[in-house]
Amino acid sequence: MAGVPTGVSAGAHPSPNIWWHPRTYELENRAVDPGGVIEAAIRRVRDWAGVDVLDVGCGTGFHLPRLAVDAASVVGVEPHPGLLAAAGRRVAGLPHCELRQGSAQALPVADRSVDLVQARWAYFFGPGCEPGIREVRRVLRRGGAFVVIDNDPTRSTFGRWFRRAQPAYDAVAVERFWARQGFTREALDIRWSFERRADLKAVVRIELPPDVADAVLAEHVGTDVDYAVNLWWWRAGLSVAPPSVRVHGEGTAAIHTGLPLR
């Protein structure tokens, strides 16, 4: 893999997938969560209708048009200039939608200027992301919310694949990190749903090491993959998170407590 591309914002953490394979990552974005579970969960935490929204690590801007439909304003921040240019082409002509280059650790956003911050599979992966959390808390208005979407490797077919690729990943330590930061965990059951088997194969190969990708593709049949993610959320002005873990999926909902959820 090449080094960090020219012009990337200082302090940015290189992405192993979208930075190097943006066209394939676009296939993944189109395939993930066709049932809209993530969007519904974010709206339960903080509906973005009529408010100011910030998407941190917006990449090529895949989620920005959807946010812009009913948000008062949308700002996408991305450290990679090539991805930011692609996002600009995607949102050209959309009112109330702005792009800015910057990193999560130094958001180019004014204090107390947004009501919802989202980060989907971007920078906020647990221990080490404290500078970004401090920045988000700086820019959120009182009553605003910060939501993070990341993989839950303790459940689902993709979770098993992830554990094979990252055997040292400590899901309990990650959950404890977010709890110490005052976040609540909502466990979501989603899926990948691809139109073509070739697209699934391409995405698996940018997400997993070659040996693991070969093995799971040999075992898995079809174009759909069940996939568990965590939505971690924090609301400005709420200092302590409730102890419960809420689980939602396509057609199901339940309450779970304890560490870890498996």
Over residues 57-61, mean pLDDT: 98
Task: Give dist(CA 47, CA 194) in Å, integer.
Answer: 28
Assign 24 to helix, strand or coil: helix
Tell me: the pLDDT tens digits for 156-184?
Answer: 999 999 999 999 999 999 999 999 999 99
Tell me: the pLDDT tens digits for 84-105?
Answer: 999 999 999 999 999 999 999 9
Q: Binning pLDDT at 50, 70 and 90, where does residue 238 land?
A: low
- The range of the structural domain enclosing residue 151 comes to 22-257
Any domain includes 94: yes
Residues 6+ apart with CB under 8 A from 120: 38, 55, 57, 63, 148, 149
Task: Give dist(CA 254, CA 251) in Å, integer.
Answer: 11
* Whether the bond into 81 is cis, omega within 30 of 0: no
Any domain includes 262: no
Any domain includes 70: yes
CA distances from 237 to 52, 201, 211 (A): 17, 44, 46
Q: By percentage, how much of the chain surpasses pLDDT 90?
A: 85
Any domain includes 15: no
What stretch of H or E contains 219? helix 210-219
Q: Which pTM value belongs to this model?
A: 0.90
Tell me: the pLDDT tens digits for 112-132?
Answer: 999 999 999 999 999 999 999
Instruction: Give the model's pLDDT for residue 245.
Output: 47
Question: 103: domain CATH number?
Answer: 3.40.50.150
Any domain includes 235: yes
Tally the domains of the chain: 1
pLDDT at residue 240 above 80?
Answer: no
CA 239 to chain centre: 23
